[in-house]
Amino acid sequence: MLKTSSGLFFLILFGFALSATAQKTDTHAKDSLKIDTNLLNKYRIDPGHNSLPIRYRPIQIFKEQLPVSMLDYKISYWHKSILFGLNFSQSAFSNNYSAGGVSAIALGSNFDYKAEYHKSPIDFTTELNFIYGISKNKDQGSRKTNDRLFFDNKLASQLSKKWFFFGSLTFESQFTKGYNYSNPDGSVAANPYEISNLMSPGYLTESVGFEYKPNKWFDLRFGTGTARQTFVLDTTIYHNQAGNYGVPIGHTIYNALAVQVVASIDKDLSKSTHLNLRYNLFIPYIQPLAYTSHRIDGILTTKVSRLIAFTVNGTFLYDKNTSKSIQGTEGLALGVIYKFP
């Protein structure tokens, strides 16, 4: 019995010894195992492939009405301009000045208002022009150097890009009386005599036709149906004007039908120079071609500074109803000129 118990005891000890040896060997193997991190990084598993599925929802855009305050902008189809010029000159001499001379004062003024309305197909233009000049020499009365009253209105409807059908109304006269200071032979008249006045003559012209306007600064009118009334309301000038401006003696108005051609140039030649030129051709129906009248009015303005400008104006006229020869006037001036806007 004792022998049997001793054998069993040694058998249990031997089993414990084997178990301890195996455990030690396994621990040693684990401790001695080297891990290659580069290899793990090379064959690492992308977690994205194994991640949980994500549900995507499409983006939806909806219109939302937001309160918007509109800017206070207004479209204007009008273009307006005002030009005002004033020229003044003065000279004085003492009574004993050896070179001689006459003291004098001269004043000239120019006012031009122009308004244009452009909204297709309507085109409307109105222009008002006043020119007046006066001079006074010592021991002489004042004398007029320039005088014109001009008012033009035109309404047109666009037919194509450059052609319009138009109707116009034009008025032209002068402000004050005009005198002749020389006799027909050229000598100085002892007593100047009156030859013109307000509405003597005065012209009112109605015209209908076609207009060619290729750009903003040039237009050409062909008034195929034109009527002009000539007024001479001051009957005291009958005996001083042989032709009486085409109005029969004893009448104050004469009506004529004609073809009228009007060409206008209104252009800036440079930043400081502006040209305004107007040509008027009047061909009467019932009178000979010799009574065709031509008139050119031009103003060239060059600014010296913001307010000071040099102005050249002139008029060329041929009209057998007023004179048998060519008429003309010209003036040079340096003065104040202002245009706005």
Q: Are 172 and 183 in contact (CB under 8 A)?
A: no
pLDDT at residue 29, rounded to an integer: 45
The closest alpha carbon to 336, from 88, 82, 80, 81, belongs to 88
If the chain, 341 residues long, is cut into consecutive pieces of 10 residues, what is the mean pLDDT of each piece?
52 59 50 52 53 70 75 84 90 80 88 93 95 88 91 96 97 95 76 92 97 95 96 90 88 96 95 94 94 95 91 93 91 88 76
pLDDT at residue 31, rounded to an integer: 47
Report if residue 153 sits inside a domain: yes
Structure token pair of residue 258: 């004609």
CATH number at residue 163: 2.40.230
Number of structural domains (the chain) is 1
Report if residue 228 sits inside a domain: yes
Q: Could you tell me which residues come within 8 angstroms of residue 265 by beta carbon, excluding any fewer than 6 positions away?
A: 217, 218, 275, 276, 277, 278
Report if residue 33 sits inside a domain: no
pLDDT at residue 72, rounded to an integer: 73
At 93, is the secondary structure helix, strand, or coil? coil
Q: Which domain holds residue 138?
A: 78-340
SS (H, E, C) 206-268: EEEEEEECCCCCEEEEEEEEEEEEEECCCHHHHHHCCCHHHCCCCCCEEEEEEEEEEEEEEEE
Report if residue 67 sits inside a domain: no
Report if residue 109 sits inside a domain: yes
Strand partners for 144: 134
pLDDT at residue 94, rounded to an integer: 82
C-alpha distance across the termini of the chain, in Å: 140
Report if residue 40 sits inside a domain: no
